[in-house]
Structure 1
Amino acid sequence: MQHPSIIQPSRIDVYLADPAACETHAAAWLQLLDGSERARYERYKVEAARQEYLTGRALVRTALSRHAPVAPADWRFEPNRYGRPSIATGLQPHAPGLVFNLSHTRGLVALAVGRDCDLGVDVEWIDRQSRLVDLCERYFAADETAYVRAAEGEELTERFFAFWTLGEAYIKARGMGLALPLDGFAYDIAGEAPSIRFEASCPDDPARWRFLRRRIGERHRLALAVASDVPEITVTFLRGVPGSSEISEAGEFAAVLARAEGPAAS
């Protein structure tokens, strides 16, 4: 195992992996899984879903081992009361403050790793254009829905998935799942950087949140949500095959997230 690089609170690494790599690496990756992960893998009947799941589990284990002195097969995880997984209590002395969040969709797996922050990532394959407006009515705030409906064609799709991925990233960062009211927050994506506001049903401070949106190729969209006291956070993207030396920076996606100050935060 390589010498771990301790990630600092001022940095977030986002790992990107193609589930298609599972076709040649599945045997090695299966050796990393614990019993419950392997059982879940076996329950998947659709091959694409099996590949996404296995790639995700391999990515979590191998990426975390880049940042802590724990072998990939030795990681253990435990859920919070809402079901969100985190590093098991017994391993936290080896990885103090280390946090992660995983997302996968058709053709892409994304993992965000940070320290001492609330962190969420969502990635979506956007080649789905039916019923988007209907989904807006069901899941989005009224002004978000109006902003989507004001567009047509590809722009409508882009706006929809901007709100969708940002909302998913925030919900995942909070770690509360559907215990958060979907109408308790709303985004403004018209400016240079996304901003969020909260209703009384979802008390939170907009000033503590930073968001990032990225186009990953033609058909994937990614959003990152992070709450941290650090003034500036460098977001580094890495792409490659989990567990291999074929991990390289994807510099075109890199960003620096500065903490908003004053009224601009809301």
Structure 2
Amino acid sequence: MNSVVEMRPSSIGHVDVWYCFTDDRRLDSRLSQYEAMLSAVELEQYQSLQHGSNGRDYLVSRALLRTVLSQYCGLAPENLSFCANDFGKPELADNQGLGLVQFNTAHTSGLTVCVVTRGNDVGVDVESHAENRGVLNMADDYFSALELQALNRTSDEQQLEFFYRYWTLKEAYIKARGEGLSIPLHDFSVLLDDQGEFNGFVGPESDRWDFRVVCKNVNYTASLAVGGSINSVAYFQSIPLSHEIERNADEAFDPLSSPMGSQRNNVVNQ
């Protein structure tokens, strides 16, 4: 691979949301290239999953992360290295992000997401929707009293949709904090308005945190949390090492949106 990388500009308060549908058949011809960019640790993890249903999802998620971050760090995807904090949150190693690039990833069946911003902690969570309402029983164990009261006030038709919004917003916050399950889920509350949009936060440093539900369709819910104001969000659908296209908020995460016709060659020229 040729390591010609064009830097992508970014700014504090702006978040880029990248995503890839991992069952997209256009990925098939690229899988060997994705495997070649993995570190030894990633390769071992991939090989342990390769014969199960999660192997492809893992491989594509790492390829998306590496090809995306290469655009912000000025390094080829295979030259990026990662470390983890004391709670396991991934970070760029050796100051490769110049101390400013902040990122987080999430994946669920059929979809992987990577978010990038500058300067502020960031977390993202994505969930594939279950077809039954049994998941609502989890709310008693993980939601705060304020969240449970609000969820119970919603109509039967809205409850499952709102559940996933609360769940992903809370998980995104936990991931952004980077302290794992040392943060009790009952000890903070994310507030939604009647339309299910973020409406407030009750918890530590409440004035610091901002939230956004970035995907809310029939198949998936995804949310992000940022340790600072979210001034703008951009959405990019990607086939790593091949195509990427910017989507508007209404098109994002819709597998039936217009085909990906634009191609960028600046990530890694072949």
Instruction: Give the letter for the 1:190 counterpart.
Output: D
Q: Is 1:77–1:85's contact at 8 Å kept on the other side of the alignment? A: yes
Instruction: Give the letter for the 1:221 counterpart.
Output: T
Residue pairs, 1:112-131, within 5 angstroms: 112-131=115-134
Residue pairs, 1:169-180, within 5 angstroms: 169-180=172-183
Instruction: Give the letter for the 2:223 counterpart.
Output: A
Q: Is 1:133–1:145's contact at 8 Å kept on the other side of the alignment? A: no
Matched, 1:99 2:82: no
- Give the C-alpha shift of residue 190 in structure 1: 1.7
Q: Is 1:6–1:67's contact at 8 Å kept on the other side of the alignment? A: yes
Q: RMSD over aligned Cα, in angstroms?
A: 2.1
Q: Which has the higher contact order (CA 8 A, sep 6+)?
A: 2
Query: What whole-Å deviation, never above 9, does each CA across 1:66-116 have from its counterpart, x for those lacking one?
Result: 112111000100010001110002524xx3311110000112111000110
Matched, 1:26 2:31: yes
Partner of 2:232: 234
Quick check: 212-221 or 66-75, which moved more? 212-221
Partner of 1:220: 220
Partner of 1:250: 247
Tell me the distance in 1 between the aligned counterparts of 2:5 and 2:216.
Answer: 28
Q: 1:214 to 1:91 in 2, by over 3 A?
A: closer
Q: Is 2:191–2:200's contact at 8 Å kept on the other side of the alignment? A: yes
Tell me the distance in 1 between the aligned counterparts of 2:215 and 2:68.
Answer: 22
User: Structure 1 regions of 5+ residues with no counterpart?
Assistant: 199-203, 255-266
TM-score normalised by length of structure 1: 0.85
TM-score normalised by length of structure 2: 0.84
Tell me the distance in 2 between the aligned counterparts of 1:120 and 1:238.
Answer: 17
Q: Is 1:6–1:68's contact at 8 Å kept on the other side of the alignment? A: no
Matched, 1:189 2:192: yes
- Give the C-alpha shift of residue 216 in structure 1: 4.9
Tell me the distance in 1 between the aligned counterparts of 2:103 and 2:193.
Answer: 29
Tell me the distance in 1 between the aligned counterparts of 2:50 and 2:38.
Answer: 18
Partner of 1:263: none
Query: What whole-Å deviation, never above 9, does each CA across 1:207-242 have from its counterpart, x for those lacking one?
Result: 1111111335421111111112x6x62210101212
Relative to total residues, which structure has the larger helix share, 1 or 2? Answer: 1
Q: 1:132 to 1:147 in 2, by over 3 A?
A: farther
Partner of 1:72: 77
Tell me the distance in 2 between the aligned counterparts of 1:194 and 1:51.
Answer: 37
Residue pairs, 1:137-216, within 5 angstroms: 137-190=140-193, 192-198=197-203, 204-216=204-216
Partner of 2:137: 134
